[in-house]
Structure 1
Amino acid sequence: MRRRYLDVLGSIYIYNEHRGYTAIDRVLEAVRARSPEDVELISAIERHRGDERKHYVMFRRWFERRGVMPLALDRTFGHIDRFVEIMFGTPIDRLDTQAVIDDDALFERLCRVISLTEQRGYRTLEALLANPFVRSDPILVRIFTIIRKDEPSHWAPYDGWLRKHGKRRPRAWERAVDTFIHSELLLLKLPFLFLNPWIGRRTDWADADEAEASDRSFRRRSPRPA
C-alpha cells in the first residue's frame, strides 16, 4: 500500500513539475514581448522556471533509484492544466499566447491562476510532509522540503505584477475553482490511480527531447537530495 501510494504521488508530481516549467516557457514568451524592459519580472519568472525544472529532475532521479518509470499520466492529472482549461476555455497547449500578450485582462487572469496554483502547492506540501508514508522515505522528504522552501518565491512575481499595476486580487469564486480542482484530484483522481492496476507506465522521460547538453549542465548545478 505504501509503495503504491508513493508511486502514484510521485507520478502526479513529476507530471506537474514538467508541465510547470514547460508552461512557464509560454509565460516568459508573453512577458518578454509585453514588457521587455521589466528585467526584474523576467528574471523572477526565469528563476521560477529553473526551480520547476530542478524539481522535475529530482523526481526523475527518485524514480530512477526505485528502478521504475512514472505512471503514464496526461493533463487530466495536472492542476495548472485544469485551471487554465476552466479559466480560459482551452488547454495550455492551445492557449493563444499572442492574445495574452495583447490583452491586459487575459495576462492579469493568467497571473492570478499561476499565483493560486503555486500557493495551493505550498499548502499541499505542508500536509504531505506530515504524511507517514511520505516520511518513511527520506529522499522524498528531502525533495518536498526543497520544494517547500522554493515555493513562496514562485507566486511572488505574479502577485507583484498585480499590485504594481493596480490589478485586483483573486476573488472568492476563483479560489473556489482552485479548491474544486484540488478536491477533484485528491478525492477522485488519486484514488482512481491508486486502485487501478491497468494504468501503464511511461516508456520514456517527459524531457527526453530536450537538449542533452543543457541537461548535463543542469545536473551539475542542482542540489542532490540527501
Structure 2
Amino acid sequence: MLLNRLFRERFLDVLASIYIYNEHRGYTSLDRVMEAVRARCPDDHEFIAAIAKHRADEHKHYVMFRRWFERQGRMPLKVDRTCGHIDNFIQAIFGCTIEDLDTETVITNAEEFEKLCRVIMLTEQRGMTQVEVLLKNSHVRSDPIMTRIFQIVEKDEPDHWMPYHGWLTTNGKVTARWRERWTDYWIHKSLMLAKLPALFVNGGAERLAVWPDEDDTVYALAA
C-alpha cells in the first residue's frame, strides 16, 4: 500500500510538472502565433478570435495546475524544453527553437505559415488523445481535483486544433504531411518511453524556485 501511494504521488507530481510546463509554453508562444495571424489574415476575425480563445484556455489550464501544486504545498519539478511536445516539434520541423522561430518569415512566407498551422493542429490533436487516456488512468482518477482539471482540458481541446484545421481546409491547403505525422508520433513515443520515465526515477530532480508566470526566463533553458 505504501509503495502504491508513493508511486501514485510521484506519478501525479511528474505529470502535473510536465503539463504546467507545456501549458505555460503554449499560451506564451501563442502570442507570436496571434501576431502572425493578424498580419497574414487581418480580415479573418473568426480565426483570430479562435486563437485568442486557445490562448485563454491554455492560460486557464496553467492556472489550474498551479493551484493543484499550491494545494500540495510544493513547487513543480524543473522541466526543460526536452519535455515539451511543441518545443520538439518546432525544432524538428523548422530546425530551430520556438524563441528563434522567425515570426516575420512565418508572416511573409505562405508555406511557413501553413506549416506552423499544421504543427499546432497536430500538437493539439495529440494532446486531446492523451487527455482521453489520462482520464482512464487509475492514479489520475484517484485525485478528484486532478480528474476535474483533465475533464476541463478535455472539453476545451477540440477548440484548440479545429480552427487551424478549418483554416487549412477552407483555403485548400494540406492538413498534414506524412513527415509531420511521423514526427508527431516519434516525439510522443520518445516522451512517453524515455524522457518522462527518466524524470520519474530521478529522485534528485530540482524544483522550480518561482512560478513560470512570475519569471518567464525560468524555462529559457539551453536545448
The answer as to 2:53 corresponding to 1:47 is: yes
Gaps of 5+ in 2: 1-6, 217-223
Indicate whether 1:30 and 2:36 are aligned. Answer: yes
Alpha-carbon distance, 1:173 to partner = 2.4
Counterpart check, 1:135 vs 2:141? yes
Q: Which runs of 5+ in 1 are unaligned?
A: 211-226
Does residue 179 of the first structure (1) align with residue 182 of the second (2)? no
2:176 to 151, 162, 170: 170
Could you tell me which of 101, 105, 109 is aligned with 1:99?
105
CA deviation after TM superposition for structure 1 residue 176, in Å: 1.0
Which of 64, 72, 75 is residue 70 of structure 2 equivalent to?
64
CA shift at 1:209, angstroms? 4.4
- Please give the TM-score of this superposition, normalised by the length of structure 1: 0.91
Aligned match of 2:4:
none
Note if 1:13 corresponds to 2:19: yes
After superposition, residues 204-219 of structure 1 pair within 5 angstroms as 204-209=210-215
**Offset at residue 172 of structure 1 (A):** 2.6
Structure 2: distance between partners of 1:173 and 1:102: 23
Moved over 2 A (4+): none
Residue equivalent to 1:159: 165
In 2, distance between residues paired with 1:53 and 1:161?
23
Please give the alpha-carbon distance, in whole angstroms, between the structure 2 residues aligned to 1:45 and 1:60: 23
What fraction of aligned residue pairs are identical, expressed as a percent? 60
Q: State yes or no: 1:4 paired with 2:26.
A: no
The yes-or-no answer on 1:114 pairing with 2:142 is: no
Moved more, 97-106 or 30-39: 30-39
RMSD, matched Cα:
0.9
1:109-149 C-alpha deviation (Å, 9 max, x unpaired) = 00000000000001001110111111110000000000000
Task: Give the 3 Å change call, closer, same or farther, for CA 209–198 of structure 1 in structure 2.
Answer: closer
CA distance in 2, matches of 1:198, 1:166: 50
Number of equivalent positions: 210
Q: Distance in 2 between matches of 1:90 and 1:190?
A: 23
Distance in 1, matches of 2:174 and 2:131, equals: 27
